[in-house]
């Protein structure tokens, strides 16, 4: 029987970086390499219906072993892809025993010591060599699910029906683009896509994308007075009016932000894309108001006024809006976590998961920990013992649903 660590070390050999500029799902064909490997692994475990579809969704079923009554079908979900914020190719994982202090990586990068890390002295970490991300987000979740399935099969304890799905392109917001909820057939589900051991999540940001297009007018700079409208200068003035206290760099916890995500342009046109994040509707509207007011203030003193077009696109809603109607789904997750000796802590996610959209679409899907830290960066690491706890919690969870 394999450990989640053994599985994880194998999975990170596969480069699965998603590409947000792609127009296909999956956004990168390399994601199929891991998907096909997982199909074969699930079949070896005994899940005969394991398959990958044309969009790189891996699905499989572990039937219940309860014959005398009907039990629910519970989904376990993790994503195949990794963020493009750092390279995911040629990952070179290294296992260390954490002795405290900062961790020097092979290429000179340093994982700084945090207050939380002081309690992890003596634990095993999987780290990178500093040239790539690790891929714990979310290959650690896949490892926990696959290992939990093997242990459930080996156990004689009653278990619920399990439906598994490993999704592509979660990192670019497309993990549920072709997710067939009806075909999946679960009564509830859990994403295994979180961080520190014991942290469980029933809330995410509500996410909007704002696009601001500024149209100017170009002419020879020597004859520009009263004629030129410099779109980039106007956009710079607008950005300068946004409140700094409402940026990712200065917020934490439940505080909202407006994040300048992309910026491009010249004299005749310029464009900025912003990511707007908030946990409630009041702050969500304040984010939008902040942009509108910045446009008004930023263009007020310009000699020639540009044309500004601001559009908003909803990306996903706070899953907490809907999960309040599914208390049993949350309670079972809390109990499973406590049953493996960890005190559960409900933490709102300053981001989103596949569960954000799935919950909104009608499938209650909170999130649970994997043991990973510092996602999307070369200083990412995985706490081995916490990934094992996640595996054990999943076994407990599926068995609780068979009570």
Helix (H), strand (E) at residue 127: strand 124-127
Question: Residue 357 in contact with residue 189, Cβ under 8 Å?
Answer: no
- The number of CA neighbours under 13 Å toward the Cβ of 339 is 17
Please indicate whether residue 97 is annotated as part of the active site: no
Write out the two tokens for 342.
């960890």
Closest CA to 396 of 190, 202, 204, 123: 190
CA 158 to chain centre: 31
Q: Is 71 in contact with 161 (CB distance < 8 Å)? A: yes
Radius of gyration from C-alpha coordinates of the chain? 23
Active-site pick, 15, 41, 169, 170: 170
Q: How many CB atoms lie within 10 A of CB 394?
A: 27
Instruction: Give dist(CA 402, CA 332) in Å, integer.
Output: 11
Separation between Cα atoms, residue 56 and residue 73, nearest integer Å: 22
Q: Is 129 a residue of the active site? A: no
Active site residue: 15, 41, 81, 386, which one? 81
**CA pair distance 152, 133, nearest whole angstrom:** 31
Backbone phi and psi for residue 192, each to the nearest 5 degrees, phi listed first:
-110, 85
Quote the Cα angle for 197-199-204, to 5°. 140
CA dist 283 and 303 (Å) reads 33
CA neighbor of 93 nearest in space, from 392, 363, 388, 378: 378
CA distance 176 to 322: 17
Distance (Å, rounded) from C-alpha 348 to C-alpha 338?
19
What is the set of active-site residues? 81, 170
């Amino acid at each position: 029987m394999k450990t989640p660590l053994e599985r994880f070390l194998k999975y990170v050999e596969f480069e699965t970086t998603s590409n947000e500029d792609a127009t296909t799902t999956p956004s990168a064909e390399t994601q199929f390499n891991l998907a096909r490997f997982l199909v074969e692994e699930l079949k070896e475990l005994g899940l005969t219906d394991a398959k990958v579809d044309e969009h790189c969704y891996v699905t499989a079923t572990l039937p219940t072993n309860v014959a005398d009554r009907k039990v629910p079908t519970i989904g376990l979900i993790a994503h195949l892809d990794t963020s493009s914020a750092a390279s995911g190719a040629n990952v070179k994982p290294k296992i260390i025993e954490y002795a405290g202090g900062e961790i020097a990586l092979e290429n000179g990068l340093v994982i700084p010591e945090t207050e939380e890390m002081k309690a992890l002295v003596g634990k095993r970490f999987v780290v990178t060599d500093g040239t790539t991300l690790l891929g714990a987000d979310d290959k650690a979740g896949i490892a926990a699910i696959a290992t939990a399935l093997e242990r459930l099969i080996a156990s004689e304890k009653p278990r619920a029906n399990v439906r598994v799905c490993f999704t592509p392109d979660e990192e670019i917001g497309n993990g549920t683009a072709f997710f067939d909820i009806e075909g999946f057939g679960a009564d509830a589900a859990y994403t295994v896509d979180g961080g520190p051991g014991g942290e469980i999540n029933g809330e995410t940001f509500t996410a909007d994308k704002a696009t601001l297009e500024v149209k100017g007018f170009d002419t020879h700079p020597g004859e520009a007075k009263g004629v030129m409208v410099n779109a980039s200068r106007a956009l710079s003035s607008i950005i300068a009016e946004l409140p700094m206290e409402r940026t990712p760099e200065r917020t934490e916890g439940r505080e909202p932000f407006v994040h300048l995500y992309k910026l491009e342009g010249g004299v005749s046109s310029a464009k900025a894309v912003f990511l707007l994040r908030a946990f409630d509707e009041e702050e969500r509207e304040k984010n939008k108001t902040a942009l509108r007011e910045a446009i008004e203030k930023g263009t007020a003193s310009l000699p020639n006024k540009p044309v500004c077009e601001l559009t908003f696109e909803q990306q996903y809603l706070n899953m907490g809006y809907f999960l309040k109607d599914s208390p049993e789904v949350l309670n079972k997750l809390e109990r499973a976590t406590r049953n493996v000796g960890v005190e559960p802590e409900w933490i709102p996610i300053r981001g989103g998961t596949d569960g954000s959209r799935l919950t909104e679409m009608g499938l209650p899907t909170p999130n649970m920990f994997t043991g990973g830290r510092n996602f999307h960066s070369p200083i990412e690491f995985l706490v081995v013992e916490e990934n094992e706890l996640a595996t054990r919690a999943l076994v407990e969870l599926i068995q609780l649903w068979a009570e």
